[in-house]
Structure 1
Amino acid sequence: MLLLALDTATPAVTVALHDGSSVVAASSQVDARRHGELLLPAVDRVLAEAGVRLDAVTGIVVGVGPGPYTGLRVGLMTADTFGLALGVPVHGLCTLDGLAYGAEVASLDGPFVVATDARRKEVYWARYEDPRTRVTEPAVDRPADIAEQVAGLPAVGAGAVLYPDTFPDARAPENVSAAALASLAAEKLAAGEELDAPRPLYLRRPDAQVPKNYKVVTPK
């Protein structure tokens, strides 16, 4: 097994390579405006660090969000393209699940919340029983509207850091890492679990809309 994992659902452009036992190379850069510029060079760096070629990869793992439309599409389209070119399966994983799995290093072994920045003064969030078990579906809400649901729980993710009134016990990590995604995927695949399809979790419509009441021009 040689899994190439990537995620662009948060400001982090993150890539990792996992050999079925451990992460052999990883790269993460935080830049919310340059996902398209940074992703492929990051893939090249990770492959070079591991000393392997792209055609050695046996599977692709991609974070499916939730996340902003533009950034999320960069990772998903790249994963689909690699899968088609290499003839290997492409597996999807919820980005919040990757953050939760990474939270194990923060010694979070009981109930907690993952919250990422959804912009518009909202967060993408979900509750977890432990780093491997999500107990609510991913949602997008204003922090004040979910305060009662998350009260008393520690939280990880950039969304928790941004809204300390709702998430007073915010902890690292702030952004997902492909290393955590790859490790979670490898664990699930080894246990015979079926992963999600690589389809985006947008949770809301994109900002760009078709103009209404636009003038129709007809040939004379």
Structure 2
Amino acid sequence: MLLLAVDTATPAVTVALHDGSFVVAETTRVDARRHGELLLPLIDSTLREAGLKLDAVTGLVVGVGPGPYTGLRVGLATAETFGFALGVPVHGLCTLDALAYAAGTGAAAGERTGGGIEGPFAVATDARRKEVYWARYDDARTRTTEPAVDRPAEIAEQLAGLPVAGAGALLYPEAFPDARGPEHVSAAALASLAAEKLAAGTEFLPPLPLYLRRPDAQVPKNYKVVTPQ
């Protein structure tokens, strides 16, 4: 088995390869405005680091968000295109779940297991507009709420006393005083969680975007019609 994992739902453009037991290679760049420009070169460099070619991939894993409209679509469109071209399955995973997996297992610190957040916690990523995408977890693998988008002050009481991992927590320390890392999701965590789910026969999400709200870009109202009547 060789899984190619990608996620573009946060400012981190992240790619990893997983052989079913270990992460073979990972490459990440943090740049919120260059998802489309960075993803394919990162896939290429990750494959070269592992000494492998794209045709060795037996499955793809992609973060489905929640995340901003444009960046999120880059990863999903790329994964679906590669899956179609290679004739391999494309598995969707909630980006928040991968972040929680890294926070709860200590994978963000370079550890296989252990060293992560113990007990219930939450994760929060930056949703812009002074909001966060968030969810609550009992442990690294068990989400207890649906992904949501809210202003930090609106959920501070719900999450009071809990560690909160992710960029959203670090941006709003007044709402999340026990903010933790990792800041961004990693494809290594995404791939490792996917490998566990495949081994257990657990179902995946379809590779469809989880937006939670309308895109920032809107069609102008009352625009001038220029096509013939």
Per-residue deviation, 1:148:
1.0
Per-residue deviation, 1:215:
2.6
Q: Which residue of 2 aligns with 1:122?
A: 131
Amino acid at match of 2:62: V
SS of residue matched to 2:220: coil
Name which of 128, 148, 166 aligns with 1:157: 166
Amino acid at match of 1:152: G
Per-residue deviation, 1:107:
2.0
Q: Distance in 2 between matches of 1:219 and 1:27?
A: 50
Q: Which residue of 1 aligns with 2:50?
A: 50
Per-residue deviation, 1:211:
1.6
Q: Greater shift after overlay, 172-181 or 207-216?
A: 207-216
Deviations 1:20-49 (A, max 9, x none): 000000001101011111111110111011
Unaligned runs of at least 5 residues, structure 1: none
SS of residue matched to 1:180: helix
Q: Distance in 2 between matches of 1:66 and 1:217?
A: 36
Work out the number of aligned pairs and report it: 220
Q: 1:24-35 counterparts in 2 under 5 A?
A: 24-35=24-35
Q: Which residue of 1 aligns with 2:109?
A: none
Q: Which residue of 1 aligns with 2:78?
A: 78
Deviations 1:184-206 (A, max 9, x none): 00000000111111010000000
SS of residue matched to 1:212: coil
Residue 218 to residue 44, structure 1, CA distance change in 2 (3 Å): closer
Q: Which residue of 2 aligns with 1:148?
A: 157
Per-residue deviation, 1:219:
4.1
Unaligned runs of at least 5 residues, structure 2: 107-114
Q: Which residue of 1 aligns with 2:186?
A: 177
TM-score (normalizing by structure 2):
0.94
Q: Distance in 1 between matches of 2:227 and 2:217?
A: 25
Q: Greater shift after overlay, 149-158 or 97-106?
A: 97-106
Amino acid at match of 1:96: L
Per-residue deviation, 1:137:
0.2
Per-residue deviation, 1:175:
0.2
Per-residue deviation, 1:149:
0.6
Amino acid at match of 2:147: P
Q: Distance in 2 between matches of 1:202 and 1:83?
A: 22
1:208 aligns with 2:214: no
Q: Distance in 1 between matches of 2:150 and 2:60?
A: 30
